[in-house]
Structure 1
């Protein structure tokens, strides 16, 4: 049940979004296909919602759905300074292909980066700290104008994501995972049906693509994200709170 004073049939995030309201939206859109859900959400929250994309191996699916509703939807990309050149090329190609018109690129704070990672080698001994400087903090700045954001996470990507809901409340902001219940065959079928371009590293064994120093090919039978931060007890960059993944 939505909190008193809010209309349950209209998405309203002011002044802050609660877990109770996220659950109400989960129920409201239960069984509604992702493209239809996005059509409603982006319409009701125009100007207050952004998509966040890594422009990785599967990013084209969600971005295609967003572009089909409103190509002017803000799309945030955090350029950590350690991205694969192939990712930057794919970003530019996909933006042009989909006709996206509002790409917002955020980079690490130069002064803070120089102080905390002067050698560009923090990833090798403190990957959490590296991600915080290069990805978490820039995204925090990028999301300041928005009440909600779209994530491309899917439940099948890792064991920690299996219970992933489509709606979450995090730090008072609504986070949507429109593809939470999609499987790999669903994504492949969508790529084929809409003739979407692929990330060139995918064919080289990279189903999940982050920064160059912390991304390796995935072996047969491993989780799609097994190649991220290999050798460290680390499963997320810090943008997504692991503790919230078990909701519902």
Structure 2
């Protein structure tokens, strides 16, 4: 049975079959397969341009620099993140980076004082990240994430392929360790996000991101002191108007 004999919809059966067939492939091979064979013209890489983002961005640039790269600008990002985005786009020759932001209407309705991150961080993430991403991936059959199992206990069982409604999410670096990430960055002489040197190992929005302390997992600095561990884009089917 050929690759394209498997259903390309993101249902759980298809995701499981992809997992069984392709789990032994290395990350670059998974990306090439997904971009060129499984979902040609119908897949995007979603990148935060954060601490580890250069790895996947570099791999994608060696396959097709015109691959859509989706970047959600929440309006609360570190200046260092925006600078890193511009640096990597220029260095890697990426030609199809698409930025999405919360709409003025949504901000006026739900966060007029830009303080929602403090009073209701879940809703803040919904308005500023989940809904813009929902609009961004509308029309794509699959999207690529940079999640890794080592990042936190909640990601310890992360699969290579997973279903998101009728879309498929692909996690090429799921099995990679922190050491392997650093080795790849060194091997390809890729620049680092400037905040990594200050122990920001998972970088989100300014109000909800802090440095990681020795012995903590890589995402311990996100929403410190709260039970919240995810922004919401991986907790269900993303939609441009979901949850509010």
Same fold, TM-score > 0.5, yes or no: yes
The alignment partner of 1:175 has SS state of strand
**Residue 17 of structure 2: aligned partner:** 24
Q: Distance in 2 between matches of 1:124 and 1:231?
A: 12
Displacement of 1:8: 5.6
**Residue 39 of structure 1: aligned partner:** 32
The alignment partner of 2:4 has SS state of coil
Which of 139, 142, 150 is residue 133 of structure 2 equivalent to?
139
CA separation of 1:160 and 1:11: change in aligned 2, threshold 3 A:
farther
**Residue 116 of structure 1: aligned partner:** 110
Q: Distance in 1 between matches of 2:6 and 2:85?
A: 31
Q: Which runs of 4+ in 1 moved over 6 A?
A: none
**Residue 149 of structure 1: aligned partner:** 143
1:179-203 alpha-carbon deviations (Å, 9 max, x no partner) = 0000001101100110001000000
**Residue 166 of structure 2: aligned partner:** 172
**Residue 57 of structure 1: aligned partner:** 51
Which of 194, 218, 222 is residue 212 of structure 2 equivalent to?
218
Displacement of 1:9: 1.9
- The yes-or-no answer on 1:163 pairing with 2:157 is yes
Which runs of 5 or more residues in structure 2 are unaligned? 237-244
Contact 1:80 1:107 in 2 (8 A): yes
**Residue 90 of structure 1: aligned partner:** 84
How many residues are paired up?
236
Contact 1:17 1:172 in 2 (8 A): yes
Q: Distance in 2 between matches of 1:61 and 1:229?
A: 25
Displacement of 1:17: 2.0
- TM-score of the pair, normalised by structure 1: 0.92
Q: Distance in 1 between matches of 2:200 and 2:225?
A: 17
**Residue 177 of structure 2: aligned partner:** 183
- TM-score of the pair, normalised by structure 2: 0.94
Contact 1:49 1:147 in 2 (8 A): yes
Q: Distance in 1 between matches of 2:15 and 2:5?
A: 10
Displacement of 1:27: 1.1
1:213-236 alpha-carbon deviations (Å, 9 max, x no partner) = 000011000111000011111000
Displacement of 1:12: 6.0
- The yes-or-no answer on 1:79 pairing with 2:65 is no
Contact 1:167 1:177 in 2 (8 A): yes
**Residue 240 of structure 1: aligned partner:** 234
The alignment partner of 2:3 has SS state of coil
